[in-house]
Structure 1
Amino acid sequence: MPVLDEADIRKVLVVVAHPDDIDFGGAGTIARLTEAGAEVVYCLVTDGDAGGFDRLVDNGGMAALRRAEQTAAAKCVGVGDLRFLGYQDGMVEQTLGLRRDITRVIRQVRPDLVVTSSPDRNYERLGPSHPDHRAVGGATLDAVYPDARNPYAFPELLTDEGLEAWTVREVWLSGGMAANHYVDVTSTVDRKIAALRAHESQTSHIPDLDSMIKGWLSANAAAAGLPEGSYAEAFQRVATA
């Protein structure tokens, strides 16, 4: 069973494939955590250069635009530390190299909690199951266990970079079919929507973004047994012990 009490979460690392992934999946939760005093770091595996709807913007221009959008979105929920790994959007694979790069960030940040995408395909709603999401989720779980805690894994991280092993206490997975933890984000839903609006290249075409997001979050709140009018984000909570 999960062992991490939310009141004890002081440092959080979010690892996702693309700019906007965390804002769709968990920005309301991140806003709650930062309001409570937690330090949150974002690790973006790609720059999102294959996303967007304006094909007049080439991939290089799109990457810079989406990095700027994610930086603005992060500020909406109290996050200022963003790290981009530079993998190519749409072509992420669950490789040993990706595991090493995520392990490096885990050892640098030394978080209590890691938030990432589910590595499992969602057959109820296909959108969260982008191949990059699943590859990043799987590589992150492998980095959490066994790589980041094992001093013999990627020894160059210790010998060349001085990064000691670190054990993450818990992982929250977003976008899967096995939610077992709901966070009440009623008080931060407006900050979540503001973060999503910062991703103008991805959300400006949505005719009623507020209603779409609140509809999803209302369904989560109902599943969690929260009062009518509440909003919630859903995760699969995974203990690592």
Structure 2
Amino acid sequence: MSNGQKVLFLGVYGMEVVECGGALAKNVANGGESYATIMLCRETSQPQVRKAAEELGVNISFFNFQYGTVDLSVESKLKLIKVIREVKPDIIITQDPEHSFHDLDPDRRPAMTLLLESIALSSRDFGLEDMPGLEPHPIPTIYYMTPHHPNTVVDISAVWEKKEKAMSMLESQMEFSGMHFEEMLDPSAAEIIAPGFSNLSSHYEKGRAIHKALDKAVHVYHGLATHGHFALAEAYRREGNFHLQQLIK
């Protein structure tokens, strides 16, 4: 019997599909279907993000929103609503509202309002004349990724190598991170996090080395550390209460 669900990830930036790639890949491994659509991803980076999604078994598409222009227009809402009604997800994963207000990446805050409004409107009779053949879709269960205050962790130990391989495919992001870490980190500190950092010859290699260390630290923290049950885990915050017929262990 399949334990898989139909999961839709609504992302702002491309790397996010890998950040929650463990849950998406595990859903596919369990017989489910995982989809992703990204609001902001440069066309030059899209082939890399697509390869990463393919490694995870995720069907991905891109909206091609422009940086600094994300808004609450009807046109923007209809783009997201159409995807939700086409996929008909059981679960939506998206960015955490609290996290989005503290993160200084551009467009996070208007994107969060746009995402939640679109999820809400997709269940109503809004915009039906603009998408013939599609019906309102009830609001799915929502999980917020990388939250400040998680209430859920997902064991991703079995798909860890897939997730790491997918991250390696994000060449532009790794190069950007390599330049960033080279500037911000004291050389001795960089060596503690990623031994041999100073000997790496490219920004890609430097970015990937630090990300490998960060990835393992974050996922071990949410998994094995703090009295956890899993070796490696992704953290999420479920919107609303868990509705159970009886208590579960």
Q: TM-score, normalised by structure 2?
A: 0.76
2:213 corresponds to which residue?
211
Q: How does 1:43-58 map to 2 (within 5 A)?
A: 43-46=37-40, 48-49=41-42
**1:18: how far off?**
1.7
Q: How does 1:69-84 map to 2 (within 5 A)?
A: 69-79=48-58, 81-84=59-62
Query: 1:120 aligns to what SS in structure 2?
Result: helix
CA distance in 2, matches of 1:136, 1:122: 9
Runs of 4+ aligned residues of structure 1 deviating over 4 Å after TM superposition are none
**1:90: how far off?**
4.3
Bigger Cα displacement from structure 2, 88-97 vs 102-111: 88-97
**1:122: how far off?**
6.1
Work out the number of aligned pairs and report it: 210
Q: TM-score, normalised by structure 1?
A: 0.78
Structure 2: any 5+ residue segments left out of the alignment?
175-203, 244-249
- Of residues 185, 199, 206, the one that matches 2:170 is 199
2:7 corresponds to which residue?
12
Residue-by-residue CA offset, 1:125-178 (whole Å, 9 max, x unaligned)? x6x552433333332222222x01102x123235xx221100133011113312
User: Which one scores higher on RCO, CA 8 angstroms, separation ≥ 6?
Assistant: 1
2:87 corresponds to which residue?
109
1:142 corresponds to which residue?
117
Query: 2:111 aligns to what SS in structure 1?
Result: helix
CA distance in 1, matches of 2:3, 2:115: 22
Query: 1:16 aligns to what SS in structure 2?
Result: strand
CA distance in 1, matches of 2:11, 2:72: 13
Q: How does 1:16-27 map to 2 (within 5 A)?
A: 16-24=11-19, 26-27=20-21
Q: CA 1:197–1:226 in 2, change beyond 3 Å: closer, same or farther? A: same
Q: How does 1:219-230 map to 2 (within 5 A)?
A: 219-222=221-224, 225-227=227-229, 230=231
**1:208: how far off?**
3.3
CA distance in 2, matches of 1:239, 1:156: 31
- Does structure 1 residue 33 correspond to structure 2 residue 11? no
Q: Larger radius of gyration, structure 1 or 2?
A: 2
- Of residues 123, 127, 138, the one that matches 1:167 is 138
Q: CA 1:224–1:115 in 2, change beyond 3 Å: closer, same or farther? A: farther
1:9 and 1:112 in contact (8 A); partners too? no
Structure 1: any 5+ residue segments left out of the alignment?
1-6, 50-62
1:190 corresponds to which residue?
161
